[in-house]
Structure 1
């Protein structure tokens, strides 16, 4: 990619030096992630896997709320059903657990289609409450299905056929693919011709529709993509945990984490998700032991950012230096024939 597009008699820049540097660093980090089984401890690998799942879930929520205007507080319905589908296929049907992870994405997609069909006519808080209701329904249903051991949960005992090193290799590869799909896929989408439509829909859906953007169709596709990406993160997270229960799979903490990360980092920006994920990850490690007090502080911090720094940490950083890590703007840099 040259970083330029030719339009008539002008050149349009679609890449920046900071973007190229971030791409190189990102590739190096992905290589380091895949190589972790050969240089990192099992505890470090589990922590990094958890951070990767936070990034993926938050980015999917950011795509929904930041561009589609779909504020969901029930994304745990999709992470939970995908994780349970993976456990059921691996533990009950004997499918290779690493193959069961991508196959499990069928479940959140199938759930997302009727969910959106039921909720798409709702706006704002009504849509958000509807998604939470769906998640609670899934939790109650799962708690009463004996095939997945009901409320007692399931253990992924089939993973004992692999040693710790082999499990680490498989999970880190899945994490790298997850980041490529959720973060890289979002960036590719925003850089494509659909990116302009998404940006227009984010800024003013009514105006975007008047210019020919099919807002309803785009929102539906975003909802399906968000469900699949969230489901992928849920399947990988619980594979690393080796155990799942309805409370942990469908708990509201997933939506809470995603909202906190996006609000702190910056709504509608990939960079904000990365910053917010890092802040949450270390805050959880350092202060999580304080329980309810810690959660209250996170809530107050989110509220303060929403009131006084609506663009989050990335917005504040942008005021100091304009160096996007994932540039999506098209800038006219020169004229003349080509």
Structure 2
């Protein structure tokens, strides 16, 4: 018989030194971003917008594929919907463009709800193809709606009322809010009790459902949240571009960036999506002049990681130094429970 002492020296650790440092740095970056218009150039502001939107969209795709098991190649549907909603609200309905950015989230959410009920019976590659078909359907519909100026696209002419400084301050502030909502929101979600359910669903949806996890409801919620985050990023991005058309708004390249960043960085990890986006962003800046050659290299890198490091570059970095930035798991720290009697053979006395 085995007896375990009721007094234990075990505690649950949720933060590490590296995560505390990373969270502090992340908060400082978010606080510094709105000040960039006073010390950074216009080119750097454009870089900020592009990088922030990529990180936000990659985090949404990572949440969708890495935890809900919903591999989408049609997130551009919601990015374009958010962008077009901004232009309609600002140019057609006379809403202040800065107020129209958060209101634009309504459009991708409104599209995501019926879209999920159309796609929910599909699984695996069929679900992925279905999302791409829906994205193409939205693009074709947009290109044939005169109210949206059809294929010619729309211009955000109302932004001419504001000075360049005002536009840059607004864009920088939106980028800070976007990163806080997407990265911080995903981190908060995964550390909540819903995060435990998402992790269980990621590892084995059948086993998770047998333990009481409502897999169908969680997948629906994650699908809608990913659409909302992607739509918000689309609104911020196309506000900076001042123009949108069906080809750019529903560009499939958005999904390609998400897949590359998350697969190479590390699927199912917040840090992985960030590392993957940073790699892609700076690779395009440094090697974009070589045309298709660097794209071939990025493609080969994706294949290499998928075959030999399925956990992504972040998992390789953790093997060198176990310094997580955004840990969402729980670790037991301390001494194990003390045994009073130990294991005894049958018939043995103390």
Q: Given the two structures, how large is their TM-score scaled by the length of structure 2?
A: 0.92
Question: 2:12 touches 2:333 (CA, 8 Å); kept in 1?
Answer: yes
CA distance in 1, matches of 2:86, 2:60: 20
Please, which moves more after superposition, 285-294 or 121-130? 285-294
CA distance in 2, matches of 1:303, 1:156: 40
CA distance in 1, matches of 2:329, 2:119: 32
Query: Given the alignment of the two structures, is residue 332 of structure 1 paired with residue 337 of structure 2, yes or no?
Result: no
Query: Given the alignment of the two structures, is residue 275 of structure 1 paired with residue 282 of structure 2, yes or no?
Result: no
CA distance in 2, matches of 1:237, 1:289: 23
Structure of higher CA gyration radius: 2
CA distance in 2, matches of 1:328, 1:51: 24
How many Å apart are 1:322 and its aligned residue? 1.0
| Counterpart secondary structure, 2:12 | strand
Gaps of 5+ in 2: 1-7, 337-350
Query: 1:225-240, aligned counterparts within 5 Å?
Result: 225-240=225-240
How many Å apart are 1:296 and its aligned residue? 2.6
CA distance in 2, matches of 1:236, 1:54: 11
Query: 1:1-338, aligned counterparts within 5 Å?
Result: 10-334=10-334
CA distance in 2, matches of 1:264, 1:334: 35
How many Å apart are 1:105 and its aligned residue? 0.5
Gaps of 5+ in 1: 1-7
- Give the RMSD, CA atoms, in angstroms: 1.6
CA distance in 2, matches of 1:91, 1:296: 41
| Counterpart secondary structure, 1:40 | coil
| Counterpart secondary structure, 2:333 | strand
How many Å apart are 1:107 and its aligned residue? 0.5
| Counterpart secondary structure, 1:212 | coil
CA distance in 2, matches of 1:192, 1:71: 23
CA distance in 2, matches of 1:106, 1:146: 21
Q: Aligned pair count?
A: 331
Question: 2:10 touches 2:332 (CA, 8 Å); kept in 1?
Answer: yes
Please, which moves more after superposition, 60-69 or 326-335? 326-335
Question: 2:171 touches 2:236 (CA, 8 Å); kept in 1?
Answer: yes
Question: 2:4: which partner in 1?
Answer: none
How many Å apart are 1:288 and its aligned residue? 2.2
